[in-house]
Structure 1
């Protein structure tokens, strides 16, 4: 009888341990760093070169397939030298701190679509001030690795748009 009770208690403890470990694997919150590159389009592409950024993103799972996302980053787009009558014109670099909030929806196991909005804080000598932003994207997320292709537009005096690639790791 003692062996039966001991076996039953051991089995119950093992099931509880496995269940706890499985819940730890299915965490609802993650945070991690990312890097991104932006290829300016339109008038922004006429005045600025390819930009690079670094940031920190976080997400919280809401319901099946839907996740709330947020990020803050620093982006640098070097200015171009534009030929002009009487000499060349140096466009100042664009340094921007975008703060984004949005939703991500998982289409299939690793493929998702995302829509973010927020503010773009222009710093430095180029176009100081705060503007709005919108950033739709599509990506894949496998374990903690997250790779996304997106279009992002900043609205401040005029539209500053770019196609971007973003890669990060979430813990």
Structure 2
């Protein structure tokens, strides 16, 4: 009886170890840093220069081809100098924003995906202080851990602050 119990325990342990190893190879969760550049459009381009950001993103595979994604980042858009009707020059305040995004990504083929995210844009500093909503559809390529994405992102607070963005990151 003791031999049978010992044999069963060893087999159960080996099975659990094998299942754990195969689960690690599936890699259902990843986390990694990214950098991004934003090119303002519309009225936002009249008041601000190209923006830059850094952040961290995570994703969890749900079902075949569908993944839940999330990220938090810091974006900075430098303000431009303007001239009023009387010829006086003034500076627009820099836009410092902390976007928090949640969304879904769908793989069209093994490396090509489409993604849509929504969330909040937390404006800090002197420019448009407060919280607004955001939406960010995009398309990208993910090869091994390298992730490159092109997107359009719009922040809604008082008026629309939109930009085309390029994002590059690595997921572990």
What TM bracket, shorter-length normalisation?
A: 0.7 to 0.9
Aligned to 1:8: none
Aligned to 1:149: 150
- 1: distance between equivalents of 2:20 and 2:119? 37
- 2: distance between equivalents of 1:146 and 1:101? 17
Q: Deviations over 1:99-151 (max 9, x none)?
A: 00000000001000000000000000000010000000000000110000000
* Compared CA separation, residues 131 and 16, structure 1 to 2 (3 A): closer
- 2: distance between equivalents of 1:139 and 1:71? 15
- TM-score for both structures, normalised by structure 2: 0.87
Deviation beyond 3 Å, 4+ runs, structure 1: 14-23
Q: Secondary structure at the match of 1:43?
A: helix
- 2: distance between equivalents of 1:88 and 1:113? 43
- 1: distance between equivalents of 2:160 and 2:17? 54
Aligned to 1:160: 161
Report deviation, 1:89: 1.7
Correspondence list, 1:32-71, <5 A: 32-71=32-71
Correspondence list, 1:129-148, <5 A: 129-148=130-149
User: What RMSD over aligned residues (CA atoms) do the two structures have, in Å?
Assistant: 1.8
Report deviation, 1:86: 3.0
Q: Deviations over 1:68-109 (max 9, x none)?
A: 000000000000011233321200000000000000000001
- 1: distance between equivalents of 2:23 and 2:17? 10
Q: Secondary structure at the match of 2:62?
A: strand
Unmatched 5+ stretches in structure 1: 1-13
Unmatched 5+ stretches in structure 2: 1-13
Number of aligned residues: 159
- TM-score for both structures, normalised by structure 1: 0.88
- 2: distance between equivalents of 1:24 and 1:69? 19
Correspondence list, 1:67-106, <5 A: 67-84=67-84, 85-106=86-107
User: More deviation in 112-121 or 19-28?
Assistant: 19-28
- 1: distance between equivalents of 2:20 and 2:124? 47
- 2: distance between equivalents of 1:163 and 1:42? 11
